[in-house]
Amino acid sequence: MVQEEHPAIKGISLLACPLCQTGLSQVDTALKCVNGHSFDVAREGYVNLLLQKRSGDAKEMLRARRSFLERGFYAPLSDAVNELVRTHLQDVPGSLHVLDAGCGEGYYLDRLQCAFASRLDDCYIGLDVSKEAIRMAAKRYRQLCFVVADVKQRLVLGDHTIHAILNIFAPRNPSEFARVTIAGGILIVVIPAPEHLLRLRAALGLLGMEEQKQQHVREQFAGHFEFVESSSIAYSMHLNKEEIEQVVMMTPNYWHLSDEIREAMQEMEEIETEAGFSLMVFRRK
């Protein structure tokens, strides 16, 4: 019998043991496979299936990201992702299985689940290599399934179990994404557009954007997925002093903050800057 503090979570039946790739089921306060491998369910409701300790986003980055996202700055992006899922998977029979590969603290996956709340049997799984990110996500979004796992390694999911993968500003693993996606399932990749935060990056001397990144992503997935469509979102954001610090700290710029950048942030009271995103939809061949 499942103990009250660890209620059964939808999506666990889709998971696979990281040691032997057999299915997992919840027994009391652990997930177990038929070969006897066992993984404890944390008090917050997540499970750690990481075989080797890996570092992910720092706690300071995650807290900055949650605070920034809660202010609604990226809600238009989240809404666009939700609409793409609705458009391309409206005819899926039965329950919908969604994976957020590199889910961070769970913002986008939760908003997708809320948008599809009328579909009671759907399953939402978030994977991230950062234990702190998964702990934050599971603690707040109890209705979702969150797992500490490395997106760059073999995914802890069974073959052909997922209808839609979200990959939002996260590492990509084309062959594994293809393995776990059903035939005809979709993959939505979101990357920052070249103009994203352009004025802020110029003012502070932050990291630039990778050139031809959208083309690079399309080439990455060409062997496993058919490219369906791309779209873009662009709008202006007015950021105050606190929000400037948050948006810098939540990105890879966190690892490259010099004393000069920190000083410049302290002197900047506000700025009008750009938000720009590229969204790509792929379909499993």
Domain that residue 224 falls in: 12-284
Domain assignment of residue 117, yes or no: yes
Overall average pLDDT of the 33-48 stretch: 95
pLDDT at 90 over 90: no
The verdict on residue 4 lying in a domain is no
Q: How many domains, the chain?
A: 1
In a domain, 209, yes or no: yes
Q: What pLDDT, on the 0 to 100 scale, is given for residue 191?
A: 97
Task: Determine the Cα–Cα distance for residues 154 and 175; give it in Å rounded to an integer.
Answer: 9
Residue pLDDT, tens place only, 205-231: 888 888 899 999 999 999 999 999 999
Question: Is 133 a member of any domain?
Answer: yes
**Residue 210: inside a domain, yes or no?**
yes
- Is residue 2 in a domain? no
The amino acid sitting at 15 is L
In a domain, 1, yes or no: no
- Asked if the structure places residue 199 within a domain, the reply is yes
Domain CATH number, residue 147: 3.40.50.150
Beta strands in the chain (DSSP E): 25-27, 30-32, 38-40, 47-48, 97-101, 123-128, 145-148, 162-168, 181-192, 225-240, 270-284
